Amino acid sequence: MRSKILRSPFEVALVVIIVLAHLYVALAPANSLMNWYTTDDAFYYFKTAQNIGLGHDISFDGISRTNGFHPLWMIICVPIFLLTNVNLLLPLRIVVLLAGLMNAATVVLIWRLFNSNGAAFAGVLATLFWAFSTRVHAITVTLGMESTVNALTVTLLIYLASQLDVKKELGTLKKQDFGLIGITAIFTFLSRIDNGFVIAAVLFWILLKHRDSLAVAGENRKQVWLRRLKIALMLGLPVGITLFAYLGFNKWYFGTETPVSGQIKRWWGTLPNTVYGFPVDNYKVFLTHLITPQVNIGPFALITQTPHDIAYWIENAFKLTGDLKTTHRILVLVISLVLSGVAALLIKYNWKRAVKLIDRFYLVPFFIGCMAQIYSYKSTTYIETLTWYWVSEMVLIVLAEGILADCLIEWIKKKVTSQRVYQMVGAVLALAMIVPYISYIINLAPYQVDPEYSEAYLGGAHALEQFTEPGSIIGTTGGGIVAYFIKDRTIVNLDGLINSNEYFQRMRRGKTTEYFDKIGLDYVYGNIYMITKSDPYARMFSDRVELIGTVEGASLFRYRPSKPAN
């Protein structure tokens, strides 16, 4: 009997493999489980979700309200982290399983997107790549960030948009289909606020494309425009209301309309001596960021890394010597030109089919939305972009690569007609992707852990507990993991990314001493250079901290409050 959810054995196989892999990690020993969470930022969500569940307000430290997060992932996390009362690790295990389920859903949507548009074999390749590429997995599934739900909602939006075209072709298009996209846009927006650019571009494109798809014979001019208005409202009104509700709630509850984390990162870019990086200050740097293989600053690194990989392989295979830096650049340029030429030839050979798929996948508005999002970061003083910012771009790349794969397959079909050959090739490619993926998962979360390192993930928390008193308030530049696991102490986030708007405004004005005195700060913990030499911390703690010593690789300072005026 066919499943009502999974429509084919291929979908079932994909979901089973993905879920089993995540179940393996979820049941791993504690220290191995923590290898999944490679960024401190995930614990900003987890600690805040825990505090919300405990009734400690929407707050990371239980002292100040914060909105430094994307709302949908936080909403999902809150009920999960109610279970911290049972065990601190239990919610982390559930998050791994949930990430697997959401990734499986994304994979199924990618497959159905291609399959419903007559590109099944290319869909198999694109699906296998998204499901089992460690580069994709390391950004969109691990980490514990909003990237997993972001990938799911963006893919769902594109899939439902494509289904409008399919249903129109089949004669089954209904007005409710536009309403469903409008509702999906809400979740896409809430999964990452900067998805607003992609949402706006895709919804506007849908409106232009389908403004008359529900036309009825004999309509007068007024009826035509009324019908178009209804479609526009079904598409845009839900997310528009959500946007204004979100901004209004933020202003009322947190004192600022947008997440404080984004405001702070733009402010960092104006500081002369910050450790967080430098803003993009000209178009040459902007273009460099578009083609760099560095995953944190390069939105298209998933594809721009390929010429570098091939160049490295050539350098090693032929044992090249000399000026390797120049050689590598030349190789990358030549390889990029060759790959671009091959892609152009494939598209030219299958022009009508490629254009149809590009149109069906809404790649033009998708690309426009992605570029607008990129420009919103790269054209301002915003610094320290991170890998999970570029999930929409990763979805775009996989869909575009799938279209190129389809063009190649159609060309090969002129030479090879045996379906058995394609089945065998598909099986080989599946094994080539799945075997390294399984190896990656096993190495990521080994079940054999040296007893000496079984609680290594608690090193920072235990060290601070040893050198501070119960009830202490400790400020740190980051502090997500420590805040989640430390006992009887409060961790205050000093960089402000998960702190309050009040704290940010005081940082800007150089008035943080009053804030620290008010909350009763006892200690400061972080890199000694950051605290004493870099902006903004040097001026914040000038003559206010006394070094105690090195604790678990970082410096612990005692905070000295200002003396009360006589």
Same domain, 326 and 241: no
Same domain, 123 and 249: yes
- Rounded-to-integer distance, Cα 198 and Cα 365, Å: 7
Last residue of a domain, one of 209, 233, 261: 261
- Beta pairing partners, 547: 557
Let me know if residue 444 belongs to a domain: no
Contact 294, 392 (CB under 8 A): no
Same domain, 240 and 314: no
Let me know if residue 270 belongs to a domain: no
- Rounded-to-integer distance, Cα 271 and Cα 268, Å: 5
Tokens encoding 113: 């997107």
Tell which residue, 129, 153, 127, has the closest CA to residue 10: 127
Residue 450, number of CB atoms within 10 A of its CB:
8
Question: What dihedral angle (degrees, nearest 10) is formed by the CA atoms of 231, 233, 235, 239?
Answer: 180
- Rounded-to-integer distance, Cα 113 and Cα 398, Å: 12
Contact 509, 521 (CB under 8 A): no
Let me know if residue 439 belongs to a domain: no
Report the number of distinct structural domains present in the chain. 3
What is the residue-wise DSSP string for 424-451?
Answer: HHHHHHHHHHHHHHHHHHHHHS-S---G
Query: 479: helix, coil or strand?
Result: coil
The residue range of the domain holding 478 is 456-559
Same domain, 463 and 420: no
Tell which residue, 264, 244, 142, 141, has the closest CA to residue 196: 244
Same domain, 98 and 142: yes
Query: 226: helix, coil or strand?
Result: helix
Tell which residue, 25, 34, 164, has the closest CA to residue 99: 25
* Number of residues that make up the chain: 566
Let me know if residue 498 belongs to a domain: yes
Last residue of a domain, one of 231, 261, 291: 261
Let me know if residue 46 belongs to a domain: yes
Q: What is the pLDDT of residue 466?
A: 97
Last residue of a domain, one of 364, 397, 432: 432
- Rounded-to-integer distance, Cα 13 and Cα 420, Å: 20
Let me know if residue 514 belongs to a domain: yes
Contact 362, 399 (CB under 8 A): no
Q: What is the pLDDT of residue 4?
A: 62
Same domain, 183 and 281: no
- Rounded-to-integer distance, Cα 300 and Cα 128, Å: 19
Q: Tokens 């402000």 map to which residue? A: 496
Tokens encoding 276: 């967080």
Q: What is the pLDDT of residue 3?
A: 55
- Rounded-to-integer distance, Cα 77 and Cα 64, Å: 19
Could you tell me which residues come within 8 angstroms of residue 199 by beta carbon, excluding any fewer than 6 positions away? 157, 185, 188, 189, 239, 369
Q: What is the pLDDT of residue 253?
A: 98
Same domain, 255 and 285: no
Same domain, 297 and 179: no
Same domain, 124 and 189: yes
In the chain, the amino acid numbered 564 is P
In terms of Cβ atoms closer than 10 Å to its own Cβ (0-12, 13-18, 19+), residue 546 is: exposed
> Digits of tens for pLDDT over the chain (566 positions)?
345 677 789 999 999 999 999 999 999 999 999 999 989 999 999 999 999 999 999 999 999 999 999 999 999 999 999 999 999 999 999 999 999 999 999 999 999 999 999 999 999 999 999 999 999 999 999 999 999 999 999 999 999 999 999 999 999 999 999 999 999 999 999 999 999 999 999 999 999 999 999 999 999 999 999 999 999 999 999 999 999 999 999 999 999 999 999 999 999 999 999 999 999 999 999 999 999 999 999 999 999 999 999 999 999 999 988 889 999 999 999 999 999 999 999 999 999 999 999 999 999 999 999 999 999 999 999 999 999 999 999 999 999 999 999 999 999 988 887 888 888 988 999 999 999 999 999 999 999 999 888 899 999 999 999 999 999 999 999 899 999 999 999 999 999 999 999 999 999 999 999 999 999 999 999 999 999 999 999 999 999 999 999 999 999 999 999 876 44
Same domain, 472 and 403: no
Contact 315, 309 (CB under 8 A): no
Same domain, 519 and 404: no
514 CA to centre of own chain: 36
Let me know if residue 527 belongs to a domain: yes
Let me know if residue 269 belongs to a domain: no
Question: What dihedral angle (degrees, nearest 10) is formed by the CA atoms of 464, 468, 474, 477?
Answer: -30
Contact 490, 473 (CB under 8 A): yes
Q: What is the pLDDT of residue 564?
A: 62
Same domain, 120 and 160: yes
